[in-house]
A and B are shown apart, each in its own frame.
Chain A
């Protein structure tokens, strides 16, 4: 396990590279979901306004 974490002396480069990339992957999921629920809320609001006006 220690040798695995050490990455042959390249730990300081390998692990940050993996952390950054996987963080981008996770953030993409979070951002996309947030964008969809924002659009959904906005569409619902518009539909609601239209419904009341009609």
Chain B
């Protein structure tokens, strides 16, 4: 097996062109999956025997929460690769992740509050799961703030990468918070060993939404990545050609 494809992923002009080509392959399936997931979740799935129709918040809450963790993990991985091998494109990936992850962390917190009020009787509680998720939002915002504060892109890349890598300890804390501590939040019902604790008519729309959001992240990441690559390559000669000047 040759490693040329891997090396090419470190080449800005190659990645810039590849990202543009790949975007629709993520965007359209994402749209299809999200629309069918919404229909399945809001219309086809039966009401929950305890929570009635209130449980339908799961179809937007769980995918948002999944995004908050997945995007952070990818951001930290990309940042680590950028730090270790000094790959510009990896830093560009990390920088592209942050605003996406931050926005979905916000969505997870808001939809969680809207679910908590009718089921637990409170919008917010300083509970391990909720608090660690809020810290995740602050990590994203801290990462973005740090980047914005450092003028030089290369220095911003390195400084923010350290923050991203250190902050990744929070990801397993969030995931296992419901098992390690007494939490108001329920234990995982999909990402667990053995059978998910849901009938197929409830589970399938959730899986569609999870996959749809993941592909959506891919599409948005690819668009942002092109911008981040351009920011790092402004005066390179390939940019002129790529922008059809």
Contact = CB atoms under 8 A, between A and B. Distances in A.
A36 B224 contact: yes
A16 to B, nearest CB: 6
B66 interface: no
Interface residues of A, number: 34
Nearest to B104: A24
B16 to A, nearest CB: 10
B118 interface: yes
Interface string B152-193: 000000000000000000000000000000000000000000
B69 to A, nearest CB: 16
B54 A24 contact: no
Contacts of B230: 36, 39-40, 42-43
A10 B118 contact: yes
Category for how many chain B residues contact A? 35 or more
Given A24-B104, A24-B106, A29 B53 contact: no
Contacts, number: 112
A20 B220 CA distance: 18
Contacts of A31: 99, 103
Contact of A43 (B57, B63, B115, B239): B239
Contacts of B216: 25, 28
Given A18-B60, A24-B103, 6 more contacts: A10-B52, A13-B54, A14-B56, A21-B61, A42-B231, A43-B234
Interface of B: 34, 38, 42-43, 47, 52-54, 56-57, 60-61, 63-64, 99-100, 103-104, 106-107, 110-111, 114-115, 117-118, 216, 220, 223-224, 226-228, 230-231, 233-235, 239-240, 243, 245
